[in-house]
């Protein structure tokens, strides 16, 4: 696929130019298919390992389950994946008295990373795949419009950006998992933490630790958050809230007044005579 001769402005070369662009577009689509296919294969392998490693499940059943999960991941139905992992963890990993082993920690890390990947909005996956595929297609076909050095640089930067965002996602998962592990060790779910809490409570004179501190901190936090939320209200929202509060108190009274007025209006229609108390009709 050679470049059209730019000095020759004949129709033939214009046709060749558009043909080159069309080829580049189809090649880009093909490469996109390839990239997505590789992603799906990697996903399937990881899922198969996480779900069926060490089990004797039939291979066809494994492929079926993995296939269904890949479809749900692609369709961004992340709750299915979370449920499946919870069921696996529930049935396979059970240690006495909440002791976490390193293997389980890395299993949870891999599972969380998969959930993280699956939860990303489908639309956000398109641009990066398209960018990469387009860049590769342009390199192969040599489409003239994209051969400038700044375009190549931007694509390279895009590639680095993807790598950094992947590393960032790994770190994020790791940090979340670590914080969760820390919280689990601090909260009284293991024998060590029970003992620790009991000692601290006895030290405080029998008051259940960290009860008072936690209550005060929670109350303070709640007040701050509520105050900030109130101050974020728009003028119309504030007006609506006032109306709503007023009506909550006086709705029944106002409804009674309105209904009575409507009843009187219906009686006072033109041509209709309203009878007086003494039986005399007044026009």
Partner 1 sequence: MTNRSRFLILLGLAGLFAGIVRGQASLSLFSLSVFLWILFDWIQFQAVVRFQLPHVKFTRTVNGNANSSGTLWVGRRVHVDVRAETKWKLACPVLLRDVVPENLELCTAVNVAGAESRTELLQGQEPNGPSESSKISRVVRWLGLSVGKSASPWGANELLQLAPSREIEFSYVARVRGAGKVVLPGIRVVLEDRRGFFRQVKFIPVEQSFRALPDYFQSAETRPTVKRHNSLPSHGIHRLQRSGTGAELLELREYVPGDPPKSIAWKASARRENLMTRQYESEVPVRVRFFVDGGTSSRLGGFGKRLLDQMNFVAASVAKAATSIGDPVSGTLIDETEVKQLSWFNGDFGLLQFLSALAEFTARPLSTEALLSPSMIRAAQAICFERYPELLDRRYHSLPFTIFSSTRDRIQLAAVLAEVSNLTPREQVECTIDDRQLATQLQRFLFDSGLPWLGQPGEFVSSGSRDDSDKRPVEITQALSDSLSAAIARARDNEVFVLFVEPTMVVNRLERLLPVIKLAIAKHHRVAVVCPTSTFLRPSKQSLRSASKQVEDLLWVGEQARMRDLLEQLQRSLVRLGASVTFSGERSAIRLVLAEMDMARDGKRSVTGGRA
Residues 42-81 that bind partner 1 (CB under 8 A): 74-76, 78-79
Question: Between 77 and 139, whose beta carbon lies closer to partner 1?
Answer: 77
Question: Between 13 and 29, whose beta carbon lies closer to partner 1?
Answer: 29
Smallest separation, CB 232 to partner 1 (Å): 6
Question: Between 205 and 271, whose beta carbon lies closer to partner 1?
Answer: 271
Question: Between 228 and 281, whose beta carbon lies closer to partner 1?
Answer: 228
Smallest separation, CB 154 to partner 1 (Å): 5
CA nearest neighbour of 114 among 164, 78, 150, 161: 78
Determine the size of the site formed for partner 1 (CB under 8 A): 84
> Using alpha carbons only, how large is the chain's radius of gyration in Å?
34
Question: Between 45 and 184, whose beta carbon lies closer to partner 1?
Answer: 184
Instruction: Tell me if 80 sits within 8 A of 114, measured CB to CB.
Output: no
Helices (DSSP H) in 53-189: which residue ranges? 59-74, 78-92, 102-118, 122-141, 149-186
Give SS3 for 275.
strand
Hey, which residues does 274 pair with through a beta bridge? 282
Binder among 12, 61, 64, 93 for partner 1 (CB under 8 A): 93
CA nearest neighbour of 142 among 238, 4, 268: 4
Site string for partner 1, 2-41 (x = CB under 8 A): --------------------x--xx--x--xx--x-----
Tell me how far apart the alpha carbons of residues 62 and 31 are, in angstroms, rounded to a whole number: 28
Smallest separation, CB 206 to partner 1 (Å): 25
Residues 127-156 that bind partner 1 (CB under 8 A): 127, 129-131, 154
Tell me how far apart the alpha carbons of residues 24 and 134 are, in angstroms, rounded to a whole number: 8
Binder among 16, 46, 125, 139 for partner 1 (CB under 8 A): 125
Site string for partner 1, 218-257 (x = CB under 8 A): ----------x---xxx-xxxxxx-xxxxxx-xx--xx-x
Question: Between 25 and 204, whose beta carbon lies closer to partner 1?
Answer: 25
Backbone angles phi, psi at 103, to 5 degrees: -60, -40
Binder among 7, 56, 60, 97 for partner 1 (CB under 8 A): 97
Q: Is 111 in the site for partner 1 (CB under 8 A)?
A: yes
Question: Between 207 and 254, whose beta carbon lies closer to partner 1?
Answer: 254
Residues 182-201 that bind partner 1 (CB under 8 A): 183-184, 189
Smallest separation, CB 2 to partner 1 (Å): 22
CA distances from 87 to 81, 93, 259 (A): 10, 10, 58
Tell me how far apart the alpha carbons of residues 212 and 9 are, in angstroms, rounded to a whole number: 84
β-pairing verdict for 274-275 and 281-282: antiparallel
Residues 256-275 that bind partner 1 (CB under 8 A): 257-259, 262, 269-270
Selected range binding partner 1 among 6-14, 141-149, 173-181, 212-220, rule: CB under 8 A: 173-181
Please report, in angstroms and rounded to a whole number, the separation of the first and last CA atoms in the chain: 99
Instruction: Tell me if 119 sits within 8 A of 78, measured CB to CB.
Output: yes
Structure tokens at 128: 């990066």
Tell me how far apart the alpha carbons of residues 208 and 202 are, in angstroms, rounded to a whole number: 8
């Amino acid at each position: 696929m050679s470049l059209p001769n730019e000095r020759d402005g004949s129709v033939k070369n214009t046709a060749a130019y558009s043909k080159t662009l069309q080829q580049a577009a189809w090649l880009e689509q093909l490469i996109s298919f390839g990239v997505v296919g590789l992603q799906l294969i990697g996903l399937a392998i990881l899922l198969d390992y996480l779900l069926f490693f060490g089990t004797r499940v039939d291979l066809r059943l494994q492929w079926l389950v993995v296939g269904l999960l890949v479809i749900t991941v692609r369709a961004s139905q992340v709750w299915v994946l979370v449920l499946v992992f919870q069921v696996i963890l529930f049935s396979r990993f059970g240690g006495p008295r909440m002791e976490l082993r390193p293997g389980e920690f890395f299993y949870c890390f891999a599972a969380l990373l998969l959930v993280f990947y699956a939860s990303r909005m489908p639309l956000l996956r398109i641009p990066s795949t398209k960018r990469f595929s387009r860049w590769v297609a342009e390199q192969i076909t040599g489409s003239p419009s994209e051969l400038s050095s700044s375009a190549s640089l931007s694509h390279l930067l895009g590639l680095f950006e993807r790598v950094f965002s992947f590393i960032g996602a790994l770190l994020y998962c790791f940090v979340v998992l670590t914080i969760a592990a820390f919280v689990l060790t601090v909260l009284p779910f293991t024998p060590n933490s029970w003992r620790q809490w009991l000692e601290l409570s006895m030290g405080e004179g029998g008051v259940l630790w960290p009860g008072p501190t936690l209550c005060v901190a929670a109350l303070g936090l709640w007040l701050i958050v509520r105050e900030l939320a109130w101050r974020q209200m728009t003028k119309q929202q504030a007006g609506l809230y006032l109306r709503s509060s007023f009506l909550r108190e006086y709705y029944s009274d106002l409804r009674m007044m309105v209904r009575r007025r409507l009843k009187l209006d219906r009686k006072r229609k033109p041509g209709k005579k309203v009878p007086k108390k003494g039986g005399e009709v007044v026009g």
